[in-house]
Structure 1
Amino acid sequence: MSVIFDPARWRPAAFLPERDTRDSALVFVVAVLCFMACLTALGVIAADRAARGWSDQLSGEMTVIVRPKANETPDSAAARAAETLAGVPGVAEARALEREKAEALIAPWLGDVADLADLPVPRLVAVTLSREAPATGEALERALRTRGLDAVVDDHTTWLADIQRGAAIARWLGIGVFTLISAAAAAVVAFATRAGLAARREVVELLHLTGAEDAFIARLFQARFARMAASAGLIGAIAAAALGAGLRLAGGGQGLTPVLPVAWSDLLAVLPCPLAAALVAAVAARLTAANLIRELS
């Protein structure tokens, strides 16, 4: 009985098997790392958006505390201050807040006070500045002094500096966590590459005997782990995007909380994850394989 050789049906076996019993564990670990990296990126984007929103709000508004003099009531003093500030160049709007709003603002600082009616509660004037050429705190104070008003201008500069400093710290912490996660993923891939090469020492030696160059052998492992990391990165990115969408749906227009307002556009940040995971894995596998092949040679 003769065996007919059909070149069309013959396929050479791969130097490295397409699947390995250890692949599932490696894919799981890399997918978890990619999931954490995507969540870190979403958190940094949301925190930066919140900080920018607070900064815009604080830089565009001022609060004036008005204390009445002996010959006028608190409400009349606040009304006169609002009228004065509305005419200052660079002020878009100035309005006196009602007594109830002023009491609600100072109540947390006074503790459990049953009745604020007997206390000399100052009136507040909310000032909205023009975005094109906003007025300065000195200009507001000068206008108030000209009208003989006893008032203090709070231009929110201290709060703005604190918010900007906190946003910068959160941004750098996020970058640091993202870098650590990337390094951990590279270390995992490097360990898996070293284990794979050690388990296939005979294949490497045989390839050397047949004249294969070290770069060719290293590329085999590079392509294998790059594909594996890309699939794991896709899984992690999808999971992170699903969680981000859940937070967005649970929180409505502000996201989960005003502190971390997740927007739909933020979910696009997970798109580069599979490519980034494949790139990190490819570099780690290539360097590890090249070093280990030189040792085996």
Structure 2
Amino acid sequence: MFKFFVIPGHDRRLIPEGRLSGPMPWVIAIMIFLTVLAAAAGLAMTHAMSDVSDELSSRATVQIIEANPEIRARQAAAAAARLRRLPLIEEVRLLPPEEIEALIEPWLGAQNLSEDIPLPALIDLKLARAATESEYQSMRSTLQTIAPAARVEPSSGYIAPVISLVRSFQWIAFGLVALLALATASAVIISARSALNTHAETIAVVHLLGGTDQQISRLLQRRIALDALLGGLIGLVGGVVIIWLISTQLTALGSGLVQSVGLNWWSWLIIAAIPILGMFLAMMTAKFTVIGTLKKIL
């Protein structure tokens, strides 16, 4: 790759380089800026889904459904004691009625619900590892003798629709990255053909003097690669600034699920590599465009 950046000065003067004066670096900057944002969104959602899935896969909830509060309390205490003896269970926490009412208060209001609605007793379980369906079934069978109406549900089931929605957004973000890569390649094709038309006379003279298509292609590739790299760095800086601003706002929200949306070190490495990948894409697109066009017109 580096041979494209060590072309002698007198050769480079055959096709002048516009630096930031032309539209190409700014077009690439906009494309890379949008690509950085889309890639960051997709990677952040991937990270969030991984964290949430790992956390919820080792947690479960037991509901003791019984209208009589005394029987319900007795069954919940017996079930909690039985669950503590299971080797799969690492921690058992019986939620007090006040905490259960606080959980449903946003939906049903702050009135004393326990007098009107028989709320189930809830037991929060932390498992030593992710349990299989057969192990959950065995747990249900164990509790049947203590509380016939007991229900054991993995916590991941409650948030499964949210995970599915986030996964859809993730694929949309990565799809946008692919579309932006296609748009960048199209912009490079237009730029390469425009450069060929602008320097058609110079290219004809170079051919007459013994120049090859590969030499001309190298000159145009170098010009487009520098434009793409410069525009890519501008787009990367702009994208990182926006990501930082958004992450600051998300942190201020204080929501557990929202706070899990973040970028780890390898995500930042991928984002930092986007301008380099954009330059490679521009170089290869320019090469095939220039050589293909020269074969047709010469």
TM-score range, shorter-chain basis?
A: 0.7 to 0.9
| Structure 1 residues 294 and 102: CA distance shift in structure 2, 3 A | same
Displacement of 1:242 in angstroms is 2.2
- Bigger drift between 247-256 and 118-127 goes to 247-256
Does structure 2 conserve the Cα–Cα contact (< 8 Å) formed by 1:92 and 1:128? Answer: yes
In the other structure, the counterpart of 2:63 is: 65
CA offset digits 1:138-160 (Å, max 9, x no partner): 12212212334531111246446
Structure 2: gaps (5+ residues): 1-8
Q: Equivalents in 1 of 2:37, 2:254: separation in Å?
A: 14
In the other structure, the counterpart of 1:273 is: 274
When the two chains are superposed, the root-mean-square deviation of aligned CA atoms in Å is 2.8
Q: Which of the residues 26, 29, 49 maps onto 2:27?
A: 29
Q: Equivalents in 2 of 1:133, 1:155: separation in Å?
A: 9
In the other structure, the counterpart of 1:8 is: none
Q: Equivalents in 2 of 1:270, 1:256: separation in Å?
A: 25
Q: Provide the secondary structure at the position in 1 that maps to 2:112.
A: coil
The structure carrying a bigger helix percent of its residues is 2
Does structure 1 conserve the Cα–Cα contact (< 8 Å) formed by 2:80 and 2:92? Answer: yes
Q: Provide the secondary structure at the position in 1 that maps to 2:10.
A: coil
TM-score normalized with structure 2 length: 0.84
Report sequence identity in percent.
Answer: 26
TM-score normalized with structure 1 length: 0.85
Q: Equivalents in 2 of 1:268, 1:50: separation in Å?
A: 17
* TM alignment of 1:283-294, pairs within 5 A: 283-294=284-295
In the other structure, the counterpart of 1:295 is: 296
Q: Equivalents in 1 of 2:43, 2:206: separation in Å?
A: 48
Alignment-mate amino acid for residue 285 of structure 1: A
Q: Equivalents in 1 of 2:256, 2:43: separation in Å?
A: 14
Corresponding residue pairs, total:
285
Q: Provide the secondary structure at the position in 2 that maps to 1:92.
A: strand
| Structure 1 residues 69 and 159: CA distance shift in structure 2, 3 A | closer
Does structure 2 conserve the Cα–Cα contact (< 8 Å) formed by 1:244 and 1:262? Answer: no
In the other structure, the counterpart of 1:174 is: 173
Displacement of 1:207 in angstroms is 0.7
Moved over 6 A (4+): 132-135, 253-257
Does structure 2 conserve the Cα–Cα contact (< 8 Å) formed by 1:37 and 1:178? Answer: yes
| Greater radius of gyration (CA) | 1
Q: Provide the secondary structure at the position in 2 that maps to 1:211.
A: coil
Higher-RCO chain (CA-CA 8 Å, sequence separation at least 6):
2
In the other structure, the counterpart of 1:217 is: 216
Q: Which of the residues 72, 75, 88 maps onto 2:73?
A: 75
Displacement of 1:262 in angstroms is 2.1
| Structure 1 residues 108 and 232: CA distance shift in structure 2, 3 A | same
Q: Equivalents in 2 of 1:285, 1:65: separation in Å?
A: 63
- Bigger drift between 112-121 and 252-261 goes to 252-261
| Structure 1 residues 105 and 136: CA distance shift in structure 2, 3 A | farther
Does structure 2 conserve the Cα–Cα contact (< 8 Å) formed by 1:38 and 1:269? Answer: no
Q: Provide the secondary structure at the position in 2 that maps to 1:33.
A: helix
* TM alignment of 1:239-278, pairs within 5 A: 239-252=238-251, 258-259=257-258, 261-263=261-263, 265=265, 266-278=267-279
Q: Which of the residues 96, 99, 102 maps onto 2:97?
A: 99
Does structure 2 conserve the Cα–Cα contact (< 8 Å) formed by 1:32 and 1:236? Answer: yes
